[in-house]
Amino acid sequence: MIVLDASVLIAHFDARAALHAEAGRLLRSVADQQFGISPVTEAEVLVGPARSGQLDRAVTALAQLRVQSVPLGDNGPVRLAMLRAETSLKMPDCCVLLAAEQSGASQLATFDDRLCAAAQARGFDVLGRSRPAAS
């Protein structure tokens, strides 16, 4: 499973986004894989479409990509607090990391440099913008 960050999906769905073409290439290159998303990330992705009256269309687009919601679990709040304390990432980014951990994903897709670094430090292969692994 590949857990997707909002940055990838928002760019993919918005043809005006600077990273739109890159997001499309990334998703096409791994289209045979299963995609996961945290409930918080899914909500982030749906905010713009909700504002513009395109919510149903966005929900359908996520379904067409076969994006599955990854429950954060009963101990989600505690694990999120620990991730936030350990990484200093914003809470939505911690939700992406927790979804990756919960799902057993080996890969995570993001265009966010800080999330990329934190994910690599936790042993995830990062698609999108990647940094060389720290030695």
C-alpha–C-alpha distance, residues 120 and 90, integer Å: 17
Predicted TM-score (pTM) of this structure: 0.90
Per-residue pLDDT tens for 9-58?
999 999 999 999 999 999 999 999 999 999 999 999 999 999 999 999 99
C-alpha–C-alpha distance, residues 111 and 12, integer Å: 11
Q: Give the residue-averaged pLDDT of 73-84.
A: 95
Question: What value does the mean pLDDT of the chain take?
Answer: 93
From the centroid of its chain, how far is CA 56?
A: 20
Backbone angles phi, psi at 75, to 5 degrees: -95, 15
3-state secondary structure at position 35: strand
Please check the confidence at residue 133 and state whether its pLDDT lies above 80: no
Domains present along the chain, CATH in parentheses: 2-128 (3.40.50.1010)
The pLDDT of residue 34? 95
